[in-house]
Structure 1
Amino acid sequence: MKTVAFSTAAIASSTPENSSSVVQQVRMWLSVLHRVNSVLSGAGWLHMLLLPGVLLALAVDERLVTNVNPWIKPIKFIFSDIIYVWSLGWLLADLPAAAQRAVRLISWGVAVSIVVEIGCIVVQAARGTTSHYNVHSLFDGLLFGLMGVFIALNTVLIMWAVYLVWRHRPHGPASYVWGVRLGLLLFLVGSAVGGAMIGHLAHTVGAPDGGPGLPGVGWSTRAGDLRIAHFLGLHALQALPLVGWLLSRYAPRQAVAGTWTFTFVYLAGTVWLYGQAMQGIPLWAAR
């Protein structure tokens, strides 16, 4: 990973309006990401290499685990992990050179944590059982405990990243900087909801895991589901910096205030969804 002397936010905003296709722009962003943080970039590409095998397993495996194909969870986590590590690498690249040694350590820790977690999830899918909250046997409990250790490590590393972005101002306009700082903080809120799920040993409140759910995501339609608030909190890491960057371009005078306002609304929505789930109320009730 190389020390960065430019702003990734500036690169994104300087993309010509009439330049090449979206595909070429994405290639450019990925190329920049690999130059500024090869560790997190590589972790994402490892997931990409894993994806074809998991998709093939989905096509040929007819087993059901909690009423769904066991390979659905690895697929969802692969995409979620790619978004996470590439976003984090992009955002941390905007820290000044003085912080890049710490960024390197954070990147290695996050990369190892995410790779271990997806490895455990794939192993359990291949065995035809659940990965999360599974303590039915010694082996299942060991894998779940291993995942828990690395999830905790990942959370501690994000706390370190929060410290860094508040101590060292990232490059970019003020609203983008606030988006990065607040996005990392709300990511920790989402992580706390994940901790609540671990304590509950389930993600559904008021019914067993594995009942009817919303298409694609599987969120329960008959009981509360903590995964919704967890999802929203974690993806603040992408949503808030993006909103801050967009406001800096299209409403610069109101950009900082708009970023803070969006953050409060986003946090309120996350807390409300958590409260609804804890009361056993689904986001969308099945009829």
Structure 2
Amino acid sequence: METTTTSRPPAPVRTTPRPAERLCYATGALLVLTGCAHLAVFAVDGGPWDGPVSWRKPVTFGLSFGLTLIAITWVTSYLRVGSRLRTALLVVFAADCVVEVGGITLQAWRRVPSHLNMETGFDTAVSMTLAVGGGVLVVLLTVFAVASFRGRPTGPAGMPLALRAGFAILIVALLSGAAMIARGVVLTRTGHQEAAYHSTAPLKPLHGVSLHAVLVLPALARLLSRTTWSGAARQRIMYAAVGCYTAAVVGAGVWAALTW
């Protein structure tokens, strides 16, 4: 007796964001707006742009955390991660981003340093909260990075390469951020508070450049998918883009090593 099997049709592509995704996108946009608002505060109030106490910190952290939250919410839709796990990780990630930017912004308005500040009990609590929050960020983003390599990401030609390269470079950002905190804590604990505030400067370019590869490279892959170029041509462009971005990260790393 002959039997026939029918293959299941491919699952429809989901285009409408889930509630958790909409929440993350809205939270990211709000963080970006807070960064822009503090740029206006800086324009009115003035003061130094560099240093441990300045309006630069709520500006840059608001923009960076907002863009990163939006980027992670988008790019993880291409990863082979269970929907419930991804939703839980994204919600925790969004909450952690709010805590980080909120603590930094609070200390900026109090006119005291946010990181590595152990001057009072309250300042120590804020500083430790930011440090723990940074640890949570490392864990969450590492989970997504591992997922990008365990299963081939979906998406148009060049997107799997963009995602894997973006997350690999993001690990560099996480490691450099951890190194900044670790060195600053050591200096603070040994009584070198001012040195601790300035010890992070050499690693800041490396941290900043490597942080946003997970947005820039997938965005380029997405833009290329809208062209009429062949998949092979788009893939070659992505390889070149990854090479250029990697060179920028290496350059920032060399500069950090020379000035550390």
TM-score exceeds 0.5: yes
Query: Are 1:120 and 1:131, in contact at CA under 8 Å, matched by a contact in 2?
Result: yes
Query: Are 1:109 and 1:154, in contact at CA under 8 Å, matched by a contact in 2?
Result: no
Which residue pairs with 2:231 in the alignment?
252
Which residue pairs with 1:47 in the alignment?
31
* Whole-Å separation in 1 of the counterparts to 2:221 and 2:36: 35
Query: Are 1:176 and 1:241, in contact at CA under 8 Å, matched by a contact in 2?
Result: yes
Query: Are 1:39 and 1:107, in contact at CA under 8 Å, matched by a contact in 2?
Result: no
Indicate whether 1:226 and 2:203 are aligned.
Answer: yes
State the number of aligned residues.
240
Indicate whether 1:131 and 2:138 are aligned.
Answer: no
Larger deviation, residues 102-111 vs 240-249: 240-249
Unpaired runs of 5+ in structure 1? 9-31, 212-222, 282-287
5 Å-filtered alignment, 1:124-163, equals: 124-163=107-146
* Whole-Å separation in 1 of the counterparts to 2:162 and 2:35: 31
Cα 1:137/1:271, change in 2 over 3 Å: farther
* Whole-Å separation in 2 of the counterparts to 1:276 and 1:114: 28
Which residue pairs with 2:251 in the alignment?
272
Cα 1:67/1:116, change in 2 over 3 Å: closer
* Whole-Å separation in 1 of the counterparts to 2:172 and 2:98: 22
Larger deviation, residues 104-113 vs 251-260: 251-260
Q: Deviations over 1:13-37 (max 9, x none)?
A: xxxxxxxxxxxxxxxxxxx557671
Unpaired runs of 5+ in structure 2? 1-10, 186-193
TM-score (norm 2): 0.77
Indicate whether 1:201 and 2:178 are aligned.
Answer: no
Indicate whether 1:71 and 2:55 are aligned.
Answer: yes
RMSD of aligned alpha carbons: 3.4
* Whole-Å separation in 2 of the counterparts to 1:224 and 1:63: 19
Q: Is the helix fraction higher in 1 or 2?
A: 2
Cα 1:84/1:67, change in 2 over 3 Å: closer
* Whole-Å separation in 2 of the counterparts to 1:6 and 1:66: 46
Q: Deviations over 1:113-171 (max 9, x none)?
A: 11000011011101112212333333323212111111111111111112333344433
Identical positions, percent = 25
Cα 1:33/1:83, change in 2 over 3 Å: farther
Letter paired with 2:13: F
